[in-house]
Amino acid sequence: MRQQLVLFFIMLSVSFFGNFVSAQEPNDSEGEVRYISDDLFTFLHAGPGRNYRILGSVVAGSRVIMLQQDRDNGFIEIIDDKQRTGWVDAEFINKTPSVREQIPSLQQNLQDANAALKQQRTDNDLLNQQIADLQSQNTTLARKLTEIESQNEQMSIELADQDQTAQIEWFTRGGIVAVISLILGIVITYLPKKRRRNDNWM
């Protein structure tokens, strides 16, 4: 009978202590997300003030859940990242994520920026190569254009010479024909004329 009473008392004590602990450790869903400032650490007190027992310390940058605020004493009740419930000085609580929380996001942003920069450098190298190819083609085309212009100028000179030669030949031929015609005209003028026969009857 005594053993049963002791066992019953132990079970009752365990049940009461479990309910007390549950009441002292609320669920994360009951509060708002906050962050410990980027200092070394801050103490977690059992009540809203520095005179209360210190339950431990919270590392700077930790994500915590704010349960309530004591504006008179300037303390906030939180649940820390170790699921401990206690009070910390309100000046160490921020709404914005701490540097510790932002580092993974910043590292990811840095990796994305480096990847984008690498891609831009690759694209830039490709564009520079294309520009160099176009400049080389432009130089080749300019050289060919110069050669064609030189050939065109040479052909124009040769054509002009041919025209001048043809004109000289035409003038020469015309002069020869004129001289021959003049000579023939003179010769014909001095040829003796035949006398006409007198066929008239007396």
Global pTM value: 0.36
What is the residue-level pLDDT of the chain in tens, covering all 202 positions?
555 554 455 554 545 444 444 444 445 556 777 765 555 578 888 888 888 998 888 887 788 899 999 999 999 999 988 899 999 988 888 877 666 666 777 788 888 999 999 999 999 999 999 999 999 999 999 999 999 999 998 998 888 888 888 888 888 888 888 888 888 878 777 776 666 555 555 5
Rounded Cα–Cα distance for residues 49 and 182 (Å): 143
H or E element that contains 65: strand 63-70
> Residues with Cβ < 8 Å from 52, sequence gap 6 or more?
45, 46, 87
> Residues with Cβ < 8 Å from 54, sequence gap 6 or more?
43, 44, 45, 46
